[in-house]
Amino acid sequence: MNLHHLVDTFAAYLAADRGFSVHTVRSYRSDLTNLADFAIERGAAGPDDLDLELLRDWLWHASQAGLAKSTLARRAAAARGLSSWLEKTNQASTDAAARLKAPKAERHLPRVLNRDQMSDMLQSVAARASSADPVALRDQAIVELLYASALRVSELTGLSLSDIDDSRLTVRVLGKGSKERVVPFGIPAQRAISDYVEKGRPQLTADATASGALFVGARGKRLTTRTVYDVIAHLLADVPGSGGSGPHTLRHTAATHLLDGGADLRAVQEMLGHASLGTTQLYTHVSTERLRESYRTAHPRA
């Protein structure tokens, strides 16, 4: 079996058996296709030719080409995954990448809106929704739910009407790795969702076969992540501050505001659907930095 075919088979395994997201599978396939090209140029004919020396050489050339540390870290992870799978499926005699390391990715603090900025955004979408325009009602429900439940954009667009539990104020979410979790939301989000479902969504689905999707586009079909990005980017365009301008900014903001308000770190981890507590701890650094900034601004002896 040639190396490119192995990459395709491994990518199919990640999607079907491991439940990796489409985005992750696409990234791994791209990285490993690059590895296969690199290996073939150096005379590799099969899996056992992907030895540790070749893998390290591949990463070194990528670093010399100026690839970011985060990209190098992802490439190393993809190679380790492939190597482990090759050994487990008896397609290679050893797990050559078990000791493969890459530079740790630099972690930048995410963009987070302060409470006043978030309040202004919520007031802005509420003012637009007061016109009863169906798209405005939908967008208000999107913003309220993203902020209330700290959802990923893929989780939001994957929601169905049946995932909302009005009586318990919870939403059932299918997260990364096809892991299901139940996340709470508040009264403002409930009101916005109810208004959209009762007044906005029927107009958007009037000329199409209505699916069970919660959020739909102008043609009545399930809303795409691209549309949600555009909606949030438009709202964030007028908000001061640098950094991300997509839906993840609202996820970061919700997590940070929860910790600012005294929420337990493990409870926030569960709400966000993080596999590792270390990922959630990023937001404690955001909260600490915000506290330092407030101290420097407000304390007379700072």
Q: How many helices (H) and strands (E) does the chain have?
A: 14, 3
**Annotation marks residue 274 as catalytic:** yes
List the catalytic residue out of 152, 201, 252, 257: 152
Q: What is the DSSP letter of 216?
A: B
List the catalytic residue out of 74, 75, 111, 251: 251
Strand pairing partners for 182?
172
List the catalytic residue out of 74, 75, 80, 248: 248
In terms of phi and psi (left: phi > 0; alpha: psi -120 to 50; beta: otherwise), the region of 104 is beta
List the catalytic residue out of 128, 172, 176, 191: 176
Structure token pair of residue 73:
């870290």
**Annotation marks residue 99 as catalytic:** no
Rounded to whole angstroms, the Cα distance separating 255 from 270 reads: 11
**Annotation marks residue 283 as catalytic:** yes
Question: Which residues, 6+ apart, have CB-to-CB distance to 19 below 8 Å?
Answer: 177, 178, 179
Q: What is the DSSP letter of 197?
A: I
Tell me how long the chain is.
Answer: 302
Catalytic residues: 152, 176, 248, 251, 274, 283
